[in-house]
Amino acid sequence: MTNVLNGLNPSLVFNYFEQISQIPRGSGKEKQISDFLYKFAKDLNLEVIQDEYLNILIRKPATKGYENCPGVILQGHMDMVCEKNKDVDHDFEKDPIELRVIDDMIYANGTTLGADNGIAVAMSMAVLASNDLEHPSLEVLITSDEEAGMTGAGGLDGSLLKGKYIINLDSEEEGYILVSCAGGNRSLVTLPLEYKNIEEDKETFLVEVKGLLGGHSGMDIVKQRANSNIVMGRILNLLGVDFDLVEVNGGSKSNAIPRECEAKIVVNKDDVDTLKNNLTTVECILKNEFKTSDPGLKIELLPSSTDKVLTTECKVKAVQLLNLIPNGIQTVSMDIEGLVESSTNLGVVITSEDKMTFESTVRSSVSTLRDAINDKTKLLCDAVSAKFEIHAPYPAWEYAKGSKLEEICVDVYEKLTGKKPIITAIHAGLECGLLLDKMDGAEAISMGPDMFEVHTPNEHVSITSIKNVWDYLVVLLKSMNQQ
């Protein structure tokens, strides 16, 4: 194992984070990390359950004087979003994450860092391994497949959970206590494809959109960043020359704002110069539109080859879908200032032999608005003879006014820091809603350290903030017998 984080404080947290960074843990590929956590608990002689979904539940008894306090559940997820820069040679199914420290920040080397939600795993492990902390009875719940649809939390047997207070550690801003989040689902649009032979006197090109910042489709949707798949739709609609379409491929995760997209097109040789000039004009238009949110946007045209193209009908339908499919912020809350109420993100477009698929993540704190987005997409699919499916729906986490846990968290934070925490909701999806639906009378909050550019290869987390949140968590657990 590397020792990049050696010497950082709290040492246990950073040591465990570095350990789990060596273990591949992309969504749907969690067997290795789940087994590692199971062995970790067994080595500490703690009660541990590994269920069929690879969720891990570890129990640690209360320390002396805390036996009658409500039990606490520390909760996070073991999987991470696997994104990398195009020029980085990294296999997320076998290669460790290469950590780097720059000033107060931890980065990876051209890939996502996995601080979302590896920091929760590391903090929970540190609590379990520490013998000098005071706390109520603890359950550490580390779920699987959160990023791809929360199937781990969804499949969990809720009767296994005995605690009353859930402290979710999957938030990304220090000083914020989250008490509500959006629900959502993944939507999948499938367009059947038919091909025809390429004509003579044609040239094939690859149009590439790159240089975008991307981001978390919940946390960063408010930043109005360019979506490479949607941008490609604009480009294809503005080419200004007759063209045939071969394929479109962009993004890799539905819950990440895509940073790159490429489309293979075929044009008449006589139109090549016009195509190049028009793309230069389109690039200037898009650079101006996204000059603040995505100043690095660029369009490249590269020579390519093909022996077949889509039929004209399929091409038209594909371009229509790329331009008309709902994307971005749909509504903003009138009750909570600055909160996105509903949104959708066209995260992945893939062309295979006989179909083109469009995968989106839909989020909303109001279920009927989520339904409205899905209905709108289905109407579009009906118009172009595409198939529409909804996958992995999960409920919103509704605000519980008068929560005792919220009161405790606010009181401890004020005493520790001399400041009031910000109590708010989040547009991103958290597992609290799913878990609370399985537990009678339970309460939940979510917190975490400062993280930046989550779900992108520029993801980084503050070292100082990790220490601050750890110190707060330790005091919070200790204070449970004073309430």
Q: Return the H-helix or E-strand segment holding 303.
A: strand 298-303
Whether omega for the bond prior to residue 117 falls within 30 degrees of 0, making it cis, is yes
Residue 441: count other Cβ atoms within 10 Å of its Cβ: 7
Token output for 118: 């590896």
* Residue at 253: amino acid letter: K
Residue 273: count other Cβ atoms within 10 Å of its Cβ: 10
* Residue 79 among the catalytic residues: yes
User: Distance between CA atoms of 425 and 427, rounded to whole angstroms?
Assistant: 7
The secondary structure of residue 52, as a DSSP letter, is T
The secondary structure of residue 418, as a DSSP letter, is S
* Residue 146 among the catalytic residues: yes
- Please say whether the beta carbons of 23 and 32 come within 8 A: yes
User: Distance between CA atoms of 120 and 97, rounded to whole angstroms?
Assistant: 17
- Length, in residues, of the chain: 483
Q: Name the nearest CA neighbour of 65 among 476, 483, 481.
A: 481
Classify 234 as helix, strand or coil. helix
User: Distance between CA atoms of 453 and 172, rounded to whole angstroms?
Assistant: 10
User: Distance between CA atoms of 361 and 350, rounded to whole angstroms?
Assistant: 15
Token output for 303: 């020579």
The per-residue DSSP string of 403-432 comes to -HHHHHHHHHHHHHHSSPPEEEEESS--TH
Residue 327: count other Cβ atoms within 10 Å of its Cβ: 22
* Residue at 408: amino acid letter: I
Of the residues 18, 30, 79, 247, only one is catalytic, namely: 79
Contacts of 149 (CB under 8 A, 6+ apart): 186, 391, 392, 394
**What are the backbone angles phi and psi of residue 71, rounded to the nearest 5°?**
-70, 150
Q: Name the nearest CA neighbour of 172 among 184, 181, 164, 163.
A: 181
- Please say whether the beta carbons of 325 and 384 come within 8 A: no
Of the residues 18, 139, 146, 208, only one is catalytic, namely: 146
User: Distance between CA atoms of 207 and 247, rounded to whole angstroms?
Assistant: 10
* Active site members: 79, 146
